[in-house]
Amino acid sequence: MSGAVDTGVAIRTNRVTRTFIYLFLLLFALFYLLPLAVMLINSVKPLSEITGGNMMALPDVWTFEPWREAWSSAQIGVQPTGLRPYFINSILIVVPAVAISTIMGALNGYVLTKWRFRGDTILFGMLLFSCFIPFQIVLIPMARVLGMIGLAGSVPGLILVHVVYGLGFTTLYFRNYYSAFPTELVRAAQIDGAGFFRIFYRILLPLSGPIIVVTIIWQFTNIWNDFLFGSSFAGQASQPMTVALNNLVQSSTGVKAYNVHFAGAILAALPTLIVYIVSGRFFVRGLMAGSVKG
């Protein structure tokens, strides 16, 4: 019964509350930004300033050498190639894997909601449960299977692995999204003689924008950041970015060039960061329409 509530717009808050809210949000923004700030600040410092000084202090001497080094001349293996060549490998793996798993997820979601059949819920339950399988246990059998079908150590092999273990989530997203979609429309189109794929292309797909964004963000992030599969199943020519970054950061001896490590880390994360920032608005909208609806 607080008197501060006005009628009209749904929620009203008074000034004190609003100040508190702003402070709270800013505080958390600081909390979230802190590690990134540490990484950014220290990636433009010469190494001597890092080892001798305050990690939060701004650099006395600004240098972009660590960035250049991480990108094109840091020692990754025997050769000082930097992260550049691995960037391309990652793209070659991520783009098809995201595309295929998203398309398959969309079709699965479509079937599971609009073309229901006996046992579909159980199938979906099983698919969903597969999201929880710890990836470590699949390494050895997966390696065997990849070897048998001749895809060991190749980019198509890695794509296959990522598609298979991404299907659970992509199907979940699309199923939840499409379940809110009026089935009557589909039935009406069916009566008009439209086929399975035609209905999908013409009716569902044009309205699937937000959930496609969510799925792509989710898959892109997961696959781009994957280390376990990338290191185990990639060949010498197809190692992704994370494996290279790991080699850069985890080298066992020598002075740890933290500035180069941080620069490399930010470089490696750049594609996902850009995806998040550019599509942040669609992301919430997509979640709104999709995954949060049981």
Of the candidates 60, 54, 59, the one whose C-alpha atom is nearest the C-alpha of residue 40 is 59
Judged by CB under 8 A, which of 46, 153, 205, 282 binds another protein?
153
Query: What is the footprint of another protein within residues 87-146 (CB under 8 A)?
Result: 104, 107-108, 111-112, 115, 117, 121, 123-146
| Least distance CB 206 / another protein (angstroms) | 19
Q: Does 147 bind another protein (CB under 8 A)?
A: yes
**Shortest distance in whole angstroms from residue 279 CB to another protein:** 10
Could you say which residues in the range 198-257 bind another protein, by CB under 8 A? 221, 224-225, 227-228, 231-233, 236, 239, 242-243, 245-256
Amino acid, res. 246: N
CB 98 within 8 A of CB 216: yes
Tell me whether residue 117 or residue 206 sits nearer to another protein (CB atom).
117
- Judging by beta carbons within 10 Å of its beta carbon (0-12, 13-18, 19+), is residue 205 exposed, middle or buried? middle
> Which of 47, 99, 189, 275 touches another protein by CB under 8 A?
275
The minimum distance between CB 119 and another protein, in angstroms, equals 10
Residues 156-185 that bind another protein (CB under 8 A): 163-165, 167-168, 171, 179
Rounded Cα distance, 225 and 276, in Å: 14
Alpha carbon distances (Å) from 138 to 169, 246, 265: 18, 22, 27
Alpha helices, DSSP H only, in 194-294?
196-199, 209-225, 228-233, 241-249, 258-289
Residue 77, interface with another protein (CB under 8 A)?
yes
Amino acid at 166: G
- Rounded distance, CA 51 to CA 74, Å? 19
Min separation Cβ 103 and another protein, Å: 10
Binding to another protein by residue 27, rule CB under 8 A?
no
The one among 36, 91, 189, 205 contacting another protein by CB under 8 A:
36
